[in-house]
Amino acid sequence: MLEKKSMLKNVKILVAKKSNLLQSAVSILEEDGVVIIRDLFKKKIISDLDEKWKLYFRKPTVSGTIGYHRTSHPKADIPAFLLGRPSLEVALEKKVINIIEKIMKSECTLSEANAIWHRPTKYTYFPIHTDFKIGWKKSSNSKVSVSEKDLKKPLGIGTMLYMHDTSSGAFSYSLGSHKLKCKNGQHLENYPPEVRQEIKKNIRICKGKKGDLVIFDDRGFHGPDQPSNAHRSVLLFDYYRNDTFGSVVVVSHLVRITDLAHLNNKQLKVLGLKSKELVESDKYVGTRFKNNFFFSKITWFIDKAYFFTHLKSIFKSIILKKIVK
């Protein structure tokens, strides 16, 4: 059961230069399921990310242009590492990997990495949930179906980097709810009313500053604070526990080869260098637009976009032939 004392608590914030950061973060994660780390990344990392962000989140990508993927009305994303080296520095920060592996008591693999933009909405489109349940499988490719015993360990840890001061729409977490170990599944409505009430009571909005990193246990109830009145830009990473899943990635990360030069062997391993892929790239959420009503129309136009230039070339060649004759 959830502990009553967590009712009055707030989300804990740790300053990165704290002497015993590793142990403090692990203890808080064990107790609350969530912690915010402040001042972990140099200002330059965040400002470089900002610059790339502006480039990628101006327009949707069309026929190879730089841009985002529209996946729903309120949401757009890109594979995080298209933002270049600073995004890898955030995902593979050694202190973060140490915290994750210490709490997991296992090596981990970065299973998902996305940069996501959320539009404010007056409705909830992503309700709070847990990421796992008994019998959970990411895809038919996964060898592992999560068991009650697997759920006793933190089998998935998420991290979220705030790209700006974030309040309305921020990541939210029900403190201590990871201790329920997803007993009744991923959805709140499947829990008995008194447990449901307790989970709701313990929800805290993780308000944070630009550059803050939220670390959370995927077994606890979490989701974006919605409805919200502010847009939100975040990098979202998920790490899986190797001793539970083996070394697996949801989809293989799209990286720019020149950005890998500074990574050590451990970081390359966490990035999934020798991992198995669970979902085919074409079935991943970022490719969802192919199912949209406008997809075939838009692709038709793109395909014909150079048609008039082509016609001009034909006419030119006919005229040229006539002149030469």
Ligand X SMILES: O=C(O)CCC(=O)C(=O)O
Which positions touch ligand X (CB under 6 A)? 131, 171, 222-224, 236
Taking CB within 5 to 8 Å according to partner kind, which of Fe ion, ligand X, none is near residue 224? ligand X
What would the DSSP string read from start to end of 86-134? HHHHHHT-HHHHHHHHHHHTS-EEEEEEEEEEE---SS-SS--B-S--T
Give me the residue label for tokens 């830009």: 233
Q: Judged by CB, which is closer to Fe ion: 95, or 196? A: 196
Chain centre distance of CA 277 = 17
User: How many chain residues bind Fe ion (CB under 5 A)?
Assistant: 1
Is 238 a residue that touches Fe ion (CB under 5 A)? no
- Taking contact as CB under 5 A, which single stretch among the options 49-57, 126-134, 228-236, 311-319 is the one that binds Fe ion? 126-134
Q: How far is the CB of 128 from Fe ion (least distance, A)?
A: 9
Chain centre distance of CA 107 = 19
Taking CB within 5 to 8 Å according to partner kind, which of ligand X, Fe ion, none is near residue 169? none
Cis bond before residue 224 (omega within 30° of 0): no
Q: How far is the CB of 313 from ligand X (least distance, A)?
A: 48
Q: How far is the CB of 223 from ligand X (least distance, A)?
A: 5
**Alpha helices, H only, the chain:** 21-32, 43-56, 85-91, 94-104, 193-201, 242-245, 265-270, 295-303, 307-324
Angle at which helices 21-32 and 94-104 pack, to 10 degrees?
50
Which residue of 93, 131, 225, 238 would you call a contact of Fe ion, by CB under 5 A? 131
Q: How far is the CB of 69 from ligand X (least distance, A)?
A: 15
Output Rg (C-alpha) for the chain, integer angstroms: 23
Taking CB within 5 to 8 Å according to partner kind, which of Fe ion, ligand X, none is near residue 171? ligand X
- What H or E segment, with its residue span, contains residue 24? helix 21-32
Q: Judged by CB, which is closer to Fe ion: 131, or 225? A: 131
Q: Judged by CB, which is closer to Fe ion: 79, or 158? A: 158
- Residues contributing to the site for Fe ion (CB under 5 A): 131
